[in-house]
Amino acid sequence: DIDHLNLRVQKELVEWLNWLKADIGFDGWRFDFAKGYSADVAKIYIDRSEPSFAVAEIWTSLAYGGDGKPNLNQDQHRQELVNWVDKVGGKGPATTFDFTTKGILNVAVEGELWRLRGTDGKAPGTIGWWPAKAVTFVDNHDTGSTQHMWPFPSDRVMQGYAYILTHPGTPCIFYGHFFDWGLKEEIDRLVSVRTRHGIHSESKLQIIEADADLYLAEIDGKVIVKLGPRYDVGNLIPGGFKVAAHGNDYAVW
């Protein structure tokens, strides 16, 4: 075990981080298992190495009901993520992986898309509270891949990407999905839509509909995304919007 409270340990780790920056060219850090040490310690490493970006993995369990599914209200879960950023320094480069959004999306795409509108009418994950500090993802090397610890429904992965790549937050694409699953072109199209229309971490989200079989949202007044099998949504799409990307149970205008 590493004693992060030991001043010599802190000094040597800071020196190593600055070497990675200056000599190797890294400009951001990923804090693995960040709940294993205090936010105060992470703050020391960030403040003394000054990365342009830092993201923490704070993976805790969602709140579940008697049916084994996540409760609609996950405020306690996302509050933990927000608290970490607050303690490290909300004005700095620190962010957290949005495990709240990941957990809700996992279930929502299985015919429960109503879950994607929180009780306050906003996104139910960390992106609904502090999108600038939320790194969204569909799967990573722990949840998907060979470890398969909390995988996204494999036949609905592109619905997940249609969501995170059109929504606020900073989306993260899983290497395996992009290079090994044959989804490169589909993901590329969504990335192009995001880039072309300037969708960013703090873009404005307006949820138009969130029903069992349909989720429809508008972002920055420029992009509309639909998830779910409901086909006839033409009456909900404002004039002037054209389909820019589509696939199995998703479309983007």
Tokens found for residue 225 = 């995304």
Tokens found for residue 136 = 């969204």
How much of the chain is helix, strand and coil, in % rounded to 5?
40, 20, 45
Looking at the DSSP bridge assignments, the partners of residue 30 are 55
Catalytic residue flag (residue 57) = yes
Q: What residue type is assigned to position 215 of the chain? A: Y
Q: What residue type is assigned to position 105 of the chain? A: L
The DSSP bridge pattern shows strands 250-252 and 245-247 to be: antiparallel
CB 119 within 8 A of CB 113: no
Check 3, 12, 27, 32 and give the catalytic one: 32
Tally: H helices and E strands in the chain: 7, 10
Catalytic residue flag (residue 80) = no
What are the backbone dihedrals phi and psi of residue 206, each rounded to the nearest 5 degrees, phi first? -120, 115
What are the backbone dihedrals phi and psi of residue 181, each rounded to the nearest 5 degrees, phi first? -95, 0
- Tell me how crowded residue 181 is: count the other CB atoms within 10 A of its CB: 15
Looking at the DSSP bridge assignments, the partners of residue 219 are 205, 223
CB 160 within 8 A of CB 105: yes
Tokens found for residue 132 = 């600038």
Catalytic positions, written as ranges: 32, 57
